[in-house]
Amino acid sequence: MEPRLKNQYKHVPDSYQALRALEQSTRKDDLLTHEIQELVRIRASQINGCGFCLDMHVNDAKAAGETDERLHSIAGWREAPWFTEAERAALALTEAMTRLPDSSSPVPDDIWDNAAKHFDDQALMLLVVTIATINTWNRINVTTRQVAGSHRRAS
């Protein structure tokens, strides 16, 4: 498999830097746990079929101590017992935001209200921005056909 563009961001360095800055702004473990951040990045990447981001975030989660059991169950989180209620709320919000066009009622009130029970306003907005940001990365990498694992070779 070959990417459509190699080193795609060299063509738009200002856009890349802006997106990197947005990404960095979401990495606030004091507001949203690292586990939740990686779970939502992985779930959105699964839905969007982004092998590049899946590889990156599964490896990041494993390096941070995430278990294989939980990683293998993210797509089936509703049936898996190892996720907290807060993680479930974050995963439900991730799915709703990632699948906006699939519903006549995108991000239904029950999903939002459940997330709001687990996160204060600042953490909730950080979660929303985290989900939006990974969806942006997914769309760029899927469109340009970035190859899973290639981020490790480029470093």
Q: What is the 3-state secondary structure (H, E, C) of 109-120?
A: HHHHHHHHHHCC
What is residue 153's predicted lDDT score, i.e. its pLDDT? 58
User: What residues contact 32, with CB distance under 8 A and at least 6 apart?
Assistant: 26, 119, 123, 126, 127, 130
pLDDT in tens, 55-91: 999 999 999 999 999 999 999 999 999 999 999 999 9
CA 29 distance to own-chain centroid: 15
Q: Residue 44 burial (CB < 10 Å; 0-12/13-18/19+)?
A: buried
pLDDT in tens, 81-133: 999 999 999 999 999 999 998 888 889 999 999 999 999 999 999 999 999 99
Residue pair 115/89 in contact by the 8 Å Cβ criterion:
yes
CB atoms within 10 A of CB 17: 11
131: number of CA atoms within 13 Å, CB side? 24
Give the residue among 19, 29, 136, 37 at the shortest CA–CA distance from 90: 37
